[in-house]
Amino acid sequence: MWKRKLSIGLKLAWALMLVNASPSVASAHVKWFAPYIVGAPPAPITKTLADTWFWAGIALVLVFFVITRALELSRFGSAAISALDYVTNPLWQRQDDYIRAIIGAFFVAIFAVGGVYLTPDLKTPAEWVSWLQLVIAFCVFSRRTMPIAGVGIIALWILALRDYDLFHLFDYLALGLGVAAYLLLEPLKNESLRTRRFEALRWGLAIALMWSSLEKFAFPSWFYPLVVEKPFLTFGMPRDVFLPMAGVTEFTLGFGLLWTPLIRRLSALALIVIFTAAVWPFGRVDLIGHGLIMAILLAVAADHRTGVDVLTNLKRGTWRIPIGMASALVIFCTAYWGLHLAFYGIDGKLDGHEGPKSTHSYDPEHPHAYGREGEIGGQPHQ
């Protein structure tokens, strides 16, 4: 018996090592820590498609997904799933309580920080917004008031439209809708609808990760100050090798959250490692901003359900993995570059700024970030 358990453990460890063979990036959201202009013209998508390292990253992840799916379909697949179920069973038994607790904790945290709508880059001077966040946190803990919390999350996103461009807020739309959908579905008595609550949460997170990963291809210059400030983030790789590989890692693992049970659970575990690694170099802001994502990823890793998905029948064959990933890339890249063109035009829109804007005042820990009135690192912009 112990030999069988050891064999299962080794296979799972090997699969996780394959995930981490893709270059892990401390996945801090760049707008929280570096200068940016959302309306600036993005790099052409053809530049990414001509990048050898982009395709190398895609190939590495495809190999991992195909091997994982082959294992899942083999006689060892049920044993691997059973091992994950055994380890995560305590969390699965209290999955709803856990998710409600982490949603409530997140809103208490951003209430305590104050001055933001939903994330660190969405600043607001309106004090009442923080009190709305506290109301949302309290509403999460009763099934009668959970729908109020869900509507409140959507309301915060809509309120942010007063101060921020719609394209900017797309970064947070899918995750916000996923969390809100969970809060609206969980109290329902209709079990066929209620059972979709975890699926809605997972799809919202996956789409959010895939969308935000495209910044590394469209606006690599946003990441350059972070690479200069914290060169260890690239693990010794050249900057222009690291960034496309990091973008591929985030996109493909987000895509993995939408696939078969073993692939999505191992993708969630890999993403937990990556996001946890970002906390040390980026600190409390990153922990609060990504805390909800990390907690939902843990819930995905502990999800024991199989076959409950809107596209289950399309995912059964191993050969469908590259088709699915290619389709996702086409859809997301077309939407990202297409919507940016529709909003800002071919030459972009700089809103009169001579230099990049930042939502952060000067911070000695981030000397390359632009401060107020065109200052860099607290010094006048030359």
Percent of the chain clearing pLDDT 70 (strictly above): 76
Q: For residue range 32-62, list pLDDT tens digits in order.
A: 556 677 888 898 999 999 988 899 889 999 9
**pLDDT at residue 8 in the model:** 40
Q: By three-state DSSP, how is residue 116 classified?
A: strand
- 281, pLDDT greater than 70: no
Q: By three-state DSSP, how is residue 376 classified?
A: strand
The ranges assigned to domains in the chain are 2-351, 352-382
* Cβ proximity of 130 and 114 under 8 Å: yes
* Cβ proximity of 219 and 43 under 8 Å: yes
pTM score of the predicted model: 0.81
| Alpha helices by DSSP H, 186-260 | 191-194, 197-213, 215-218, 224-229, 239-256
Confidence band for 181, pLDDT divided at 50, 70 and 90: very high
Q: For residue range 95-142, list pLDDT tens digits in order.
A: 999 999 999 999 998 898 888 888 877 888 888 999 999 999 999 999
**pLDDT at residue 347 in the model:** 77
Q: Tell me how far the alpha carbon of residue 2 is from its chain's centroid.
A: 37
Q: Which residue is it, tokens 């699926």?
A: 199
> Measured between alpha carbons, how far is residue 303 from residues 11, 40, 254, 300, 330 in Å?
20, 40, 16, 5, 29
* Cβ proximity of 256 and 328 under 8 Å: no
What is the total residue count of the chain?
382
Other CB atoms within 10 A of residue 348 CB: 16
DSSP notation for 3-27: HHHHHHHHHHHHHHHHHHHSPP---
Q: CA-to-CA distance for 177 and 307, rounded, in angstroms?
A: 23
DSSP notation for 325-357: HHHHHHHHHHHHHHHHHHHH-TT---TT-SS-B
| Alpha helices by DSSP H, 161-190 | 166-185
Q: For residue range 198-222, list pLDDT tens digits in order.
A: 999 999 999 999 999 998 898 888 7
Other CB atoms within 10 A of residue 75 CB: 7
Looking at residue 305, what DSSP letter applies?
A: -
**pLDDT at residue 229 in the model:** 72
